[in-house]
Structure 1
Amino acid sequence: MLTNRFQSVNIFKFPSLIIDKLKLWSLVALAFFPLVDFLLRKIPFVGSIVGSVWDELIVVALATLAFGRFLMGARFEQLPYHQMLKAFILLGIAYLAVSLNSFGVDSEGFRAIYWYTFLAFILPYHVDRDLAAKLIRYVLYAGLIIGLHGVYQYVTKAPMPPGWVDAGETVRTRVYSVFGSPNIMGTYMIIIFPIAAGMAWASRTNRERLFFGFVALVTLASLVFTNTRGAQLALFVALVITSLLFDRRLFILVIVAGVAAMFVPQIQSRFLQLFDPLYWMKAAKDGRIYRWLTAYDVMRYNPFFGAGMGHFGGAVADRHFGTKYVDSYYFKTMAEMGLVGLLAMLALFGTIVRDLYRRIFKPLRARQDWPLLLGLFTSILAVLVQNAVENVFEVPAMNFLFWFIVTLTVILSGKKEETAE
């Protein structure tokens, strides 16, 4: 809960109406992150100047304003995961302090891991429950646009690299939209679909139910058209967990839907391939299994603290050392930060899930927006599961969206008075 211990002392004048409007539009731009990022990078001259830093400029500006409110005495309610996150950040700083001989690479690795985590401490100073609900809607609007683009790519048989299709497999196309990768597109869809479904369920008017139901349908179709097994399985696992926590009758419905999904040709062909010995031979030779084992071998040289942030398995390591992506954020973290870093990260994610469970499920039936909260919880779970088989957080849009949605969920699930003033 934000409070102001010095409400009668006007040390600073808060931003004018113009700055407040700019702040609002900045938050809206963040809600549309994938689209704004894609378009800015495509605009001549503008893309080379702000295309890669626009979001960082917004985060810095919001952090500066939040710090001003902090100095004036404003505070927000911190959950256990905030304390765990502080400890995880301090661990990253400690890694930097002991790696001064490769500080440049380690600092890049630190930024890739930690930059968007600071949203957990910044957004509560700017966003109340009403604004959080609006921002969630904007996230869904962006998801609809990208989902429709994915459906369009499928209908028009968008060209794709041959490496996206396994040997002996016949696929019409794998959609990728603004992300350039069907795996990341699939991850984005498993973020949007459960939120859209929850929003449709929670809506009070038929028009809104139809609209958000349409968003859910489009994003689910686009997920199928990505032909991404990992994302589809991650969504199913997240739905199973949420249904078990919420209502066993819903669990039966999820199982029935999962069985029915196996009769969809695109899904069936991809999952049946898992029973092909050739698939596992390729995975062990140069696929996911090979990369996971390689990450394990890297960790063995320094089991406690790893090779160093940015040194293996991600975008930073690829730029500096030419190492391949690990295709698992957890294996990548194990290689770079060792068992200490991996366990700290897993503890952080576990604390987030536990905090959200306590915040959402205990008073669930008393809230009118409980279906939306269930959808948000499922979305967060799905991303954490997907990270096991994909470097989801190596993509800035996905890393940002996770922490953005986690923070908005905390704000939405709080009591009415536990909001920004």
Structure 2
Amino acid sequence: MISLILLVAALFTSNQYIGYFISLLIIALISVNWKSAIFVLIIYFPIRPFLIEMNPGLKYLGDGIICVLFFLIVIQKVIIHKERFGRTFLFSVFFLLFCLIGVVSAFITGVEITSIIFQIRAFVLTFLCMIIVSELKITEKDIAQFFLVTVCLATVLSVHGLIEKLSLRTLLLPEAWVQMDLAETNRIRIYGLAGNPNILATYLMISFFSIFYLIKKFDRFKPLLYVIATLIFGVVLLTYSRGTILSFAIAYLVFIAATRQWKLVKSQTIVIAAALFIIFLPTAYTAEYIENHFNDKQLAEQSQKKIHKENRYFDMFSDDTISKSTEGGRIFIIKKGIEIFKEHPLIGTGFGTYGDSASWAFGSPILKAYGIQNPIYSDNQYIQILVQSGVVGALFFFLFFVMVIITIIRSNREKMEKWIVLAFLIVGATAAVFYNILEDKTFTLYFYIVLGFLLNKHRKFSLPFNQKM
């Protein structure tokens, strides 16, 4: 709570040095109470772009918390208690080898050291949370609070998202975001405090499914929780994040088929239908009405053309969409990536060269040679891995993926727990077709926390799930 108060206090000033000071105070607090770090992180990362926009001094708060806590746990486990992490994390070796290949090939290509460090941080930072959580002494109360904090923040973000939508991005946003020039297809989307509709949708989908744990745990609050679930899913639809919804839908179908949670399907179908007719459609049409009748005439005409011609949920495979994707979108990026891969098949071109956050921030030494004038996001994790780490790096990453699955299956946990983590893995594997999912700190944070919880040997309880929920 003290950390949260400090975090809010930092938003009342844009002085980055005050932000640095508050970050140090929060890190000092979590070094005393390790478990509080998890709660700070699940508040910080989903709204990190907003926090940084308000106070740049908060930029490295998450990095500091994770690195300090990881360092303290290593000292306690390895140096003081003379223990080893053991075979539980054997799959980590393949992940580290993948990163090593990306670094070595980047040096060979001539990528700047700052760019390489930037990308390593993007991949490894939240990965450390798995080891941190696996070593904490977690109670059932901690789990309930974890889901409760997640749902509370998601509720705030959902209400804020509706305000953003109905105010036409003029209220409760940083001025720089209000003035942002968005493409026509993106202006109808809710960006939220995450600053990105896809990241917001991912977080809200995680929160949506978290609610059903709370419904199981706190039966007396069931009506309120169902209302919140309806609100959250309605805002997910308003992000128009097709890839996110498809990824979670596939994982959900596999999860239901494996666990046979038919009662869950019934309740969630009702909630989704309610979200569509109570939240999504009324909000979308109200926003259209406001823009057409209360905004200036020119913008209203543009809005009317846009709303009737652009439908993100139904134009996914239209000729126009495919044409744009081929000329400069995902299909273009994949084709160009294959071209680069053919010339660097063994270990690739290295981190910071093609379609990742490092090449976007620092530039790439190879893009102009392939006729790409501006930095790009690959929006496809697989082509990014293949181009930047070649066959060798891709093989290590594939082995990491397979070993994680084997580790989950072999763990001595309940079937439901295993399938919750496997569902996360399916979401990530599917979303990687549409996004650079490994660089989404929110998704990877939750995935590694949940995986760490599954592998935690200190807890003496299982989640309160019966075979039939």
TM-score range, shorter chain: 0.7 to 0.9
Partner residue in 1 for 2:136: 126
Q: What is the TM-score of this pair, normalised by structure 1?
A: 0.77
Partner residue in 1 for 2:340: 298
Q: Is the 8 A contact 1:334 1:342 kept in 2?
A: yes
Code of the aligned partner of 1:330 = Y
Partner residue in 1 for 2:254: 241
Deviations 1:198-244 (A, max 9, x none): 332x224322x334433422221111000111111111111111011
Instruction: State the alpha-carbon separation in 1 of the partners of residues 183 and 360 from structure 2.
Output: 19
Deviation at 1:279, TM superposition (A): 1.6
Does 1:191 find its partner at 2:206? Answer: yes
Distance 1:129 1:301, change over 3 A: farther
Does 1:229 find its partner at 2:242? Answer: yes
Deviation at 1:357, TM superposition (A): 4.7
Q: Is the 8 A contact 1:191 1:382 kept in 2?
A: no
Deviation at 1:272, TM superposition (A): 2.5
Partner residue in 1 for 2:449: 404
Q: Is the 8 A contact 1:291 1:326 kept in 2?
A: yes
Instruction: State the alpha-carbon separation in 1 of the partners of residues 258 and 387 from structure 2.
Output: 33
Partner residue in 2 for 1:287: 329
Deviation at 1:359, TM superposition (A): 4.4
Partner residue in 1 for 2:385: 333
Q: 5+ residue gaps in structure 1?
A: 1-16, 365-369
Instruction: State the alpha-carbon separation in 2 of the partners of residues 178 and 255 from structure 1.
Output: 26
Match of 1:165 among 163, 181, 185: 185
Instruction: State the alpha-carbon separation in 2 of the partners of residues 85 and 312 from structure 1.
Output: 24
Does 1:102 find its partner at 2:111? Answer: yes
Deviation at 1:148, TM superposition (A): 2.2
Deviations 1:145-199 (A, max 9, x none): 2122223323334367542518xxxx8x211101222122222222222222333
Instruction: State the alpha-carbon separation in 1 of the partners of residues 446 and 262 from structure 2.
Output: 31
Instruction: State the alpha-carbon separation in 1 of the partners of residues 169 and 86 from structure 2.
Output: 46
Partner residue in 2 for 1:363: 414
Deviation at 1:325, TM superposition (A): 0.5
Does 1:145 find its partner at 2:156? Answer: yes
Question: Number of residues paired by the alignment?
Answer: 382
Q: Is the 8 A contact 1:106 1:310 kept in 2?
A: yes
Match of 2:401 among 332, 341, 349: 349
Deviation at 1:374, TM superposition (A): 5.6
Query: What RMSD in Å do the two structures reach over aligned CA positions?
Result: 3.7
Deviation at 1:262, TM superposition (A): 9.7
Distance 1:123 1:117, change over 3 A: same
Deviations 1:63-116 (A, max 9, x none): 121022112227587665x21122221342354346545350323222222222
Code of the aligned partner of 1:283 = S
Deviations 1:26-55 (A, max 9, x none): 332112123563454244xxx333x21111
Instruction: State the alpha-carbon separation in 1 of the partners of residues 196 and 159 from structure 2.
Output: 16
Q: What is the TM-score of this pair, normalised by structure 2?
A: 0.70
Q: Is the 8 A contact 2:31 2:68 kept in 1?
A: no
Q: Is the 8 A contact 2:379 2:434 kept in 1?
A: yes
Q: Is the 8 A contact 1:76 1:125 kept in 2?
A: no
Deviates more, 1:312-321 or 1:350-359: 350-359
| Percent sequence identity over aligned pairs | 15
Match of 1:114 among 124, 128, 131: 124
Partner residue in 1 for 2:436: 391
Code of the aligned partner of 1:60 = C
Instruction: State the alpha-carbon separation in 2 of the partners of residues 129 and 78 from structure 1.
Output: 23
